[in-house]
Homo-oligomer: A and B are copies of this chain.
Amino acid sequence: MARQSGGERKKADGDNEGRIRARNEAKILEVSVRLFSAKGFDGTTISEIAEESGLPKANVYYYFKTKTAIYERLIAEVFRDWDAALRHIRPERDPREALADYVREKLESSRRNAAQSRFFAGELLRGGKFLSRRQRQHMLEVTREACEAVEHWISEGRFPELDPRHFFIMIWATTQFYADFAPVVAATLEVPRLRKSDFDDAADQILKAIRL
């Protein structure tokens, strides 16, 4: 009680304030990624974000200055994990095992965060206008490193003579596809909806198809 009175207010309930802020921001972002991925940037309204977050519209604006700010925060969040799976691709590893780990992790992470995956795919589909130069640069560097690992394997005769860049595009396209275009995949597999086992099958089939 005493701590909350006086001129130190701002600092005094800093903990509480921080907790509330963290919780509300997290809720807003969680709801937003789902809505943006399902309806796009313009199809998503702040009213709807507020409603599904259980907050009045003005409170959403209290935490995020604009709708664009929410979108950009989400881009940054997705981006942080973009290269997580690529860490498996290292020259000293066995190519077969490294690729298997990479494909499985990529499929698993897009399955677990389907909304996030679709959100990012939507952004790239529209040309990636919200990506900063920094972020583009980072993607490029990470890809280049992975390509170097593959080139190393090729030079040792442990990998087929493919262009690593096209190879990664192929793997990336395929793994993303299962989560991003789930309805099409489900229809093709003739199941009502995708289960974890379908993703496991996908991983096996992809690795089998490229016959490493």
Q: Among residues 67 to 87 in chain A, which have CB atoms less than 8 Å away from a CB atom of chain B?
A: none
- CB pair A143–B181 under 8 Å, yes or no, is no
How near does chain B come to A90, taking the closest CB pair, in angstroms?
A: 19
A22: interface (CB < 8 Å):
no
Q: Is A2 an interface residue (CB 8 A)?
A: no
Q: Which residues A29-72 have CB closer than 8 A to chain B?
A: 38-43
A3: chain B residues at CB < 8 Å are none
Q: Which residues of B contact A190 (CB under 8 A)?
A: 140, 165
Query: Closest CB-CB distance, A26 to chain B, in whole Å?
Result: 25
A contacts with B: majority SS? helix
Interface residue? A16 (CB, 8 A)? no
CA distance A158 to B139 in the complex (A): 40
Stoichiometry (number of copies): 2
Residues of B within 8 A of A100 (CB): none
Known: A43-B41, A160-B211, A208-B160. A169 touches B188 (CB 8 A): yes
Cβ 8 A contact of A211, one of B39, B177, B211? B211
Tally of contact residues, A, Cβ under 8 A: 50
The answer to whether B166 touches A202, judged by C-beta atoms less than 8 angstroms apart, is yes
Per-residue 0/1 for A98-128: is the Cβ within 8 Å of any B Cβ (1 yes, 0 no)?
Answer: 0000000000000000000010011011111
CB pair B170 A206 closer than 8 Å: yes
CB distance from A128 to the nearest CB of B (A): 5
Q: Told that A40-B41, A170-B209 touch, could you supply 5 new A-B pairs with CB distance under 8 A?
A: A128-B183, A140-B190, A173-B176, A173-B181, A211-B211
A-B contact pairs, 19 of them (CB 8 A): A40-B40, A40-B41, A40-B43, A40-B122, A124-B183, A124-B184, A125-B181, A140-B188, A140-B190, A160-B208, A162-B208, A162-B209, A163-B205, A168-B188, A169-B202, A170-B170, A173-B181, A209-B210, A210-B210
